[in-house]
Amino acid sequence: MPGFKRIYALAALLLITVCPAALSAQTQFQNEKFFLSLQFGGRNIQRDSLANTDNIDFMNYLYRQTGAPEYGILALDFRLTPKPGLQVGIQTVFLSDLNPNQLNLNVKYEIDSLKTGIVWGLKGAFFAYPQYLNEFNQYHKIQDTGFTADLNTNYRQITIYDIGLAAGPYVSFKHRRLHGEIGISAGVSGFMPFDETIAQKQTEANLRREIHYKTEYSPAFFVNPEMEFCLDLNKSERTKIGLMISAGSLFSKRSINYTCNTATWTDDNAVIEKVKPGKILYSKTEIKGGFYISF
């Protein structure tokens, strides 16, 4: 969690910097409106897998499972509309451990009306979400014959964060009790660096080897289509309660570059190699549903 605390600090700094600038561009704020929602859903990760080579590809070990979403999610969403046409939102997402370990920030500004009930605008976003990287030591158990491939007998699982920025257009609509939004954005994101060490011992001998991995931030371009639909359950103009469903996907070609330092017996025999695995197709899709209240 220390890494995510730094992400929250960065997010707070962004809000402190962006929000006053956005608000000062307006004259006076009237009819303040708040939107709160609680949604449940799932996140699915798709990635290609490359065959084992002389070097490990960490992308092969991002958590995957067959027939079900990789992660169940609970999302709390808060949006503030200080003036019609301007909206600032923050969303915190909980995984199964119920820790608030995902953050989405966005600012929307309406540009113009296309026709009655339909407007378009621009959206900027910052996000940080976690993923599990599981049992990467399996690579060494397959490749490093003649050695005890990993002297650490614990289950190897680490959490890595994907952090990115995006911007793009959106179209929102309203028809009676139904309203929603469809948009597409593009941006750059990358996995935060991490360090891992594999300690090995030659079978029936005293020779020891230590492999140290230090990854690099490897930014990649992505596109992110999103949609949201809301249905008001009451007719009040002041306070509305309703049901909602939302979905979004992120498509990219990703790799995790790293430096590999292999020391055999002593550090004096270290071999250092920079590794850049080939980029593979990667996608993240989230589908959520729940209820909201606005006032």
CA distance 207 to 147: 9
Q: Check: CB of residue 37 under 8 Å from CB of residue 290.
A: yes
Domains of the chain and CATH, by start: 2-294 (2.40.128)
Per-residue model confidence (pLDDT) at position 29: 29
Query: What pTM value is reported for the model?
Result: 0.83
CA distance 291 to 233: 10
Per-residue model confidence (pLDDT) at position 53: 83
Q: Check: CB of residue 57 under 8 Å from CB of residue 50.
A: yes
Tokens of 188: 């750059």
Tokens of 244: 């909602």
Q: Which positions of the chain have pLDDT values less than 50?
A: 1-4, 7-32
Provide the 10 A C-beta neighbour count for residue 41: 19
Q: Where are the beta strands (DSSP E) in the chain?
A: 33-47, 71-83, 86-94, 100-115, 118-134, 147-148, 157-175, 178-191, 195-202, 208-215, 220-232, 240-254, 258-264, 271-275, 280-294
SS3 70: coil
Whole-angstrom CA distances from 201 to 41, 52, 61, 157, 206 are 45, 22, 23, 22, 7
**CA of residue 72 relative to chain centroid, distance:** 14
Per-residue model confidence (pLDDT) at position 126: 97
Per-residue model confidence (pLDDT) at position 155: 94
177-205: pLDDT as tens digits: 999 999 999 999 999 999 999 999 999 88
Q: Which helix (H) or strand (E) holds 20?
A: helix 2-24
